[in-house]
């Protein structure tokens, strides 16, 4: 069932989205060589406490941390650990919060120090895929329009889109209908309506899209060991526009 949000509910989620974006901005700033992914998780937990919100992921299906940290071939749900980030790593950061009984979710992929040209291009393509997909998330379009836009752009750049994982609706539950694949056909799937709040999240790989479980038991990694990138925003579909609720203020 797809839950349509009221103007008041979207306003609450707008407030929560700004907080989540501020927390993520600080974590990105600290994602440097020599820092462990567990230190980033601890920082995220401290910031969540500072803003008086709750973590969305801690305790979810047994996950013991607030932040997902996925390095290189690991694409999502990576478990923070004593792993020290090193120059050239590609780091996926995925964080969610609960604010006034509503969930917000976002993800970003960053390069640690100097990264390879291939890694730079992979991140750039994933980021643009999200931007293009958000433009398609308008009243009257379909879920298939979003997935098709992501797939066509990513594949045109020589990369692959993940098939086994997808975006989702969000609100009083972390994961709500509809599911939003990163591939599809134009005009297919549910029609987008005013009041929908969605998490669109392109997940792309430099090689084959086949995934396996990561060694940590929670995450997913590419079977061929190729690099990955993942971006995600929580967005609200309004009458005449689409609003990104988790946009990072660069000031």
Question: Which pLDDT tens digit goes with each residue over 64-102?
Answer: 999 999 999 999 999 999 999 999 999 999 999 999 999
pLDDT confidence of residue 140? 96
pLDDT confidence of residue 250? 79
Question: Which pLDDT tens digit goes with each residue over 198-227?
Answer: 999 999 999 999 999 998 899 999 999 999
The number of domains in the chain is 1
Question: Which pLDDT tens digit goes with each residue over 35-55?
Answer: 999 999 999 999 999 999 999
Would 47 be classed as within a structural domain?
A: yes
Would 107 be classed as within a structural domain?
A: yes
The pLDDT of residue 58 is above 90: yes
Q: Which two tokens stand for residue 232?
A: 């995600």
Would 251 be classed as within a structural domain?
A: no
Kindly report the CATH number assigned to the domain that includes residue 199: 3.90.230.10
Q: Which H/E stretch holds residue 42?
A: helix 37-50
pLDDT confidence of residue 143? 98
Q: Which of 2, 63, 45, 13 is nearest to 247 (CA)?
A: 13
pLDDT confidence of residue 215? 87
Confirm whether pTM is higher than 0.75: yes
Q: What residues form DSSP beta bridges with 244? A: 235
pLDDT confidence of residue 59? 95
pLDDT confidence of residue 239? 95
Would 249 be classed as within a structural domain?
A: no
pLDDT confidence of residue 195? 98
pLDDT confidence of residue 5? 98
pLDDT confidence of residue 235? 98
The pLDDT of residue 115 is above 90: yes
The pLDDT of residue 251 is above 80: no
Contact partners, residue 46, CB within 8 Å, separation at least 6: none
81 lies in which domain range? 7-244
Would 1 be classed as within a structural domain?
A: no
pLDDT confidence of residue 231? 98
98 within 8 A of 48, measured Cβ to Cβ: no
Q: What is the DSSP string of 128-190?
A: HHHHHHHHH-STT-BHHHHHHHHHHHHHHTT-EE-SS--EEE-SSSSSEEEEE-S---TT-SP
Contact partners, residue 251, CB within 8 Å, separation at least 6: none
Average pLDDT over residues 154-178: 98
Would 92 be classed as within a structural domain?
A: yes
Q: Which of 96, 101, 35 is nearest to 66 (CA)?
A: 96
Would 192 be classed as within a structural domain?
A: yes
Q: Which two tokens stand for residue 143?
A: 């879920």
SS3 content of the chain, % helix, strand, coil (to 5): 30, 25, 45
Would 250 be classed as within a structural domain?
A: no
Peptide bond preceding 178 in cis form (omega within 30 of 0): yes
The pLDDT of residue 126 is above 90: yes
SS3 4: coil
């Amino acid at each position: 069932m797809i839950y349509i949000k009221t103007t008041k509910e979207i306003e609450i989620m707008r407030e929560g989205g700004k907080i989540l974006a501020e927390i993520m901005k600080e974590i990105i700033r600290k994602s440097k060589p020599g820092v462990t992914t567990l230190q980033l998780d601890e920082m995220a937990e401290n910031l969540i406490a500072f803003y008086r919100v709750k973590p969305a992921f801690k305790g979810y299906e047994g996950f013991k941390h607030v932040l997902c940290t996925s390095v290189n071939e690991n694409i999502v749900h990576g478990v923070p650990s004593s792993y020290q980030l090193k120059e050239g790593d590609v780091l996926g950061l995925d964080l969610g919060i609960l604010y006034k009984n509503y969930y917000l979710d976002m993800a970003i992929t960053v390069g640690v120090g100097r990264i390879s040209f291939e890694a730079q291009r992979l991140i750039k393509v994933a980021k643009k895929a999200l931007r293009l997909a958000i433009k398609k998330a308008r009243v009257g379009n379909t879920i298939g329009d979003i997935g098709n836009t992501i797939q066509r752009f990513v594949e045109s750049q020589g990369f692959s889109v993940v098939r086994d994982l997808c975006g989702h609706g969000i609100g009083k539950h972390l994961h709500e209908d509809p599911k939003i694949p990163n591939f599809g056909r134009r005009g297919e799937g549910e029609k987008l309506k005013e009041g929908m709040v969605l998490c669109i999240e392109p997940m792309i790989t430099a090689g084959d899209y086949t995934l396996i479980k990561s060694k940590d038991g929670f995450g997913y990694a590419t079977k061929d060991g190729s690099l990955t990138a993942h971006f995600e925003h929580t967005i609200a579909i309004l009458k005449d526009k689409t609003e990104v609720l988790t946009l990072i203020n660069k000031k």
